[in-house]
């Protein structure tokens, strides 16, 4: 319950074009007293599904969205911790936004006056996107540099439509390859990744640096942006922050007449979760 409430508290303080909006907490009302976190429904699905369903989708713009969202988190001293294509959702206007902050942590920071205690399950991320230092060290925690590693794997997803190490049959096989220093193979220069989807030699080079074994040698997010900017894409997507979805404030106003607000006692009980 505390992990759930901390995720809600963290998410509620985030507001960015490339971060999935947070609407609130919903009490399901079953015998178990379960709670759910509410966000807009993204019918276009996650990144890999979207690009496989819509081959003409601009990978460069989508990856720029991902970097912008991740930069926002890092600027607020937040580590995502589980960045992958499945946790990147696509809005109705075709923008990418980051979701699933269940593994996020706040680095030496406070939100809303409450200390956010880091709660990370070792190897809680997804092994194909996890940096080698997370796989090799006991009690290791995701960092901003491990987010950079995962970002490079997201680039691989975007340009190939495949998950990293897709040829490996088990998670253990993936871990074995990563620890041995193996990384995804470079797509053929005459293949679709290069000739259709926008991959360039310079982009591949920064991907290789990003998934390097040495965390300190990985490039900054700004370097990724600078490389993508050379592709000179024109963004003609809607400027509407949430696409067709209601902004969080309007959603809450809309449901206030349908669902009752929590009582003072219920609010006090909820706040006690953070104690």
pLDDT at residue 248 greater than cutoff 80: no
Catalytic residue among 82, 86, 100, 147: 82
Per-residue pLDDT band at 22 (split at 50, 70, 90): confident
Q: Which residue has the higher pLDDT, 14 or 80?
A: 80
Q: Would you tell me how many other CB atoms lie within 10 Å of the CB of residue 249?
A: 10
The CATH code for residues 43-238 is 1.10.510.10
Residue 110: its pLDDT value, please?
A: 39
Distance CA 177, CA 173 (A): 6
Place of tokens 């699933």: 100
Q: 67-107 pLDDT, tens per residue?
A: 999 999 999 888 999 999 999 999 988 999 998 865 455 54
Q: Which residue has the higher pLDDT, 226 or 233?
A: 226
pLDDT at residue 185 greater than cutoff 50: yes
Sign of the Cα torsion 13, 19, 20, 21 reads positive
Q: Which two tokens stand for residue 132?
A: 């080698």
What are the start-end ranges of the E strands in the chain? 24-27, 35-38, 78-79, 88-90, 96-98, 105-106, 110-111, 114-115
Q: Which two tokens stand for residue 269?
A: 């009980």
Q: Which two tokens stand for residue 173?
A: 């096989």
Q: 110-153 pLDDT, tens per residue?
A: 344 333 333 333 344 588 999 999 988 777 889 999 999 999 99
- 86 counts as catalytic: no
Residue 116: its pLDDT value, please?
A: 34
29: left (phi over 0), alpha (psi -120 to 50) or beta: left
pLDDT at residue 43 greater than cutoff 70: yes
DSSP per-residue string spanning 34-99: -EEEE----TT-BHHHHHHH-TTS-HHHHHHHHHHHHHHHHHTTEE-S--SGGGEEE-TTS-EEE-
Q: Give me the chain's average pLDDT, please.
A: 79
């Amino acid at each position: 319950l505390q992990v759930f409430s901390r995720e809600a508290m963290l998410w509620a303080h985030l507001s960015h074009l490339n971060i999935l909006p947070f609407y609130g907490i919903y009490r399901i009302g079953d015998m178990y007293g379960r709670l759910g976190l509410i966000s807009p429904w993204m019918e276009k699905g996650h990144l890999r599904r979207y690009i496989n369903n819509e081959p003409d989708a601009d990978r460069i713009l989508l990856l720029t969205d991902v970097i912008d969202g991740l930069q926002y988190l890092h600027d607020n001293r937040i580590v995502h911790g589980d960045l992958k294509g499945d946790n990147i959702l696509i809005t109705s206007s075709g923008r990418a936004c980051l979701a699933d902050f269940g593994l996020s942590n706040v680095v030496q920071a406070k939100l809303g006056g409450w200390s956010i205690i880091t709660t990370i399950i070792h190897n809680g991320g997804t092994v194909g996107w996890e940096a080698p230092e997370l796989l090799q060290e006991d009690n290791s925690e995701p960092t901003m540099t491990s987010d950079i590693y995962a970002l490079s794997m997201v680039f691989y997803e975007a340009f190939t439509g495949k998950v990293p190490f897709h040829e490996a049959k088990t998670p253990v096989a993936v871990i074995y390859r990563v620890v041995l220093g193996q990384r995804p193979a470079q797509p053929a220069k005459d293949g679709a990744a290069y000739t259709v989807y926008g991959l360039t030699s310079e982009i591949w080079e920064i991907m290789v640096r990003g998934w390097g074994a040495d965390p300190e040698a990985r490039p900054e997010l700004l370097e990724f942006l600078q490389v993508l900017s050379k592709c000179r894409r024109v963004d003609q997507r809607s400027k509407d922050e949430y696409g067709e979805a209601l902004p969080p404030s309007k959603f809450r106003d809309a449901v206030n007449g349908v669902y009752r607000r929590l009582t003072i006692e219920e609010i006090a009980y909820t706040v006690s979760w953070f104690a």
